[in-house]
Amino acid sequence: MPEKEVRTRFAPSPTGYMHVGNVHTALFAWLFARHNHGKFILRIEDTDEVRSTPDALAHIYAGLEWLGLDWDEGPDVGGPHAPYIQSERLESYQAMVRGLVEAGKAYPCFCTPEEIDERRQITLARGVPPRYDGKCKRVDPEERARLMAEGVPYAVNFMMRETGTTTVTDLIRGEVDFENALMGDFVIQKRSGYPTFHMAVVADDHAMEITHVIRADDHLTNTPRHLQLMEALGIEPPQYAHLPIILGPDRSKLSKRHGAVSMIEYKDLGYLPEAMFNFMALLGWSPGEEREVMTREDIVERFSLDACSKSAGVFDIGKAEWINGEYMQILPPEEIARRVMPYLVEAGLFEAEPTAERWAWLAKVCDIMKERAKLLKTYVTWARYFFTDDYEYEERAVEKWLKKVETADTLDALAEKYEAAAWEAEALEAATRALAEEKGVKAAEVIHPCRAAVTGTTIGPSLFHLLELLERETVVGRLRRTAGMVREGKF
């Protein structure tokens, strides 16, 4: 018999930005689907009428697209189980809820949110874990009919078993038992007629033939509820894998305190999507070997839930930067140039439609910078001097060289030499060394002030190759300008 096609889904709620944790969940569900040649489905869970926004939806698309997590079925591409937006599927949930009420497996709850909250506070004060106390389960049928006829607003609660345990069989965690007595009944349809997350998720995973629910650990306690709900509906449950959550370096839940938590911010910071993909895949999954920089294809091929860890992954931004730096060295300079371009254009440092010649020049810049530029953004910050005369002089360059009045003469003399030199690295090096010899100083005492003046920094790629890439006029102009500033005591 042919094996059943693997179908996973990512089911984000469009409330707020795309948190790194959400993307991590999406990535693992995507990897599992792709590894098994199955389908990856995007479903939008907008049953929170108050908090869902179109802006958040745009963020979800942007985050997934940036990482290259493509979906086979979803709101925009459609599919056999459309619509893929829960607010467009309300009737299907309502029909299920009605069926459960008729079967005596769910009941209307007339308690107002205030009443529920008040009773909850009392339970909490007694030190008992709060759960719905089942008040409306005990309302007699006549009274129930009367309240409904009067039009008293009600929610619908699902009736959980009161004794025994519910076992969740999880592909990462194994078997986890939950005591039914501790869970309590829960709402499946709100007073507004909207389903709760529990109802909608169960209904849709079934309708969309999801075979593997891969989601974050914080949903683990919902799963026994979902299992009981499925049983009441006569639905065969999918398989589950709950992924460990992501922690910050201090091992607390990853939050804004730890830096950017919205995925798309990493794009703005200058990360490459393939590096971020690689980095995120290693959070909670281990390929079982030392090599950590892996292509997307490699990761898809090796991925398995068996190799996923039960313990939380630590979001170590230093490691992300390291992986990014590795990719920046592997990618051809022309490709880096193509990726860097939008950042430069946005910063007003480069033309939006460069000529072939300018592209080739940019690729050369990327080539000499590749060992040092760990992020695409580095080109608009630290390596800005390639693109504009308007760069800052770093503190160290100032302290070490530009505060010394004798530097002015060195820079002017160098400018003179450069006016006559052939404009290529070797000749520039020879001219520089010749000046050092004439002055009877070490070559470093000319080279460092030159770098300080022309780039504003004390470190960077090979100076003479860098000079070669800047035009003679530019270099000579910067040397003279800086010499003037040194003389005028501007540093």
Q: Binder to ligand GLU among 81, 105, 219, 439 (CB under 6 A)?
A: 219
Rounded to the nearest whole angstrom, what is the least distance from the CB of residue 485 to ligand GLU in the complex? 56
CB atoms within 10 A of CB 203: 23
Rounded to the nearest whole angstrom, what is the least distance from the CB of residue 215 to ligand GLU in the complex? 4
Alpha carbon distances (Å) from 209 to 57, 97, 262, 477: 23, 20, 30, 68
Q: How far apart are CA 425 and CA 167, in angstroms?
A: 71
256 is catalytic: yes
Q: Binder to ligand GLU among 33, 187, 201, 463 (CB under 6 A)?
A: 201
Residues 202 and 223: beta-carbon distance below 8 Å: no
Q: How far is CA 21 from the centre of its chain?
A: 7
Residue number, 161 or 219, with CB nearest to ligand GLU: 219
Give the three-class secondary structure for 146: helix
Residue number, 45 or 468, with CB nearest to ligand GLU: 45
Rounded to the nearest whole angstrom, what is the least distance from the CB of residue 213 to ligand GLU in the complex? 6
Running DSSP on this structure, what letter comes out for residue 424? S
Tell which positions 20-59 bind ligand GLU, by CB under 6 A: 45
Q: Binder to ligand GLU among 7, 19, 89, 215 (CB under 6 A)?
A: 215
What single string gives the DSSP state of each residue in 201-242? HHHHHHHTT-SEEEEEGGGGGGHHHHHHHHHHHTPPP-EEEE
Q: Binder to ligand GLU among 6, 7, 8, 12 (CB under 6 A)?
A: 12
Residue number, 13 or 123, with CB nearest to ligand GLU: 13
Q: Which residue is nearest to ligand GLU (CB)?
A: 215
User: Measured at the alpha carbon of residue 160, what is the angle toward residues 157 and 161, in degrees to the nearest 5?
Assistant: 155
Nearest CA-CA partner of 42 in 77, 11, 69, 18: 11
The reply on whether position 13 binds ligand GLU by CB under 6 A is yes
**Positive or negative torsion for Cα 161, 162, 165, 170:** positive
The reply on whether position 11 binds ligand GLU by CB under 6 A is yes
Rounded to the nearest whole angstrom, what is the least distance from the CB of residue 79 to ligand GLU in the complex? 18
Residue number, 243 or 463, with CB nearest to ligand GLU: 243
The reply on whether position 185 binds ligand GLU by CB under 6 A is no
Number of residues that bind ligand GLU (CB under 6 A): 8
Rounded to the nearest whole angstrom, what is the least distance from the CB of residue 22 to ligand GLU in the complex? 7
For tokens 């300079």, the residue is 333
Residue number, 201 or 431, with CB nearest to ligand GLU: 201
Out of 253, 256, 417, 442, the active site residue is 256
Give the three-class secondary structure for 159: coil
Question: Would you tell me which residues interact with ligand GLU (CB under 6 A)?
Answer: 11-13, 45, 201, 213, 215, 219
Q: Mind telling me the catalytic residues? A: 256
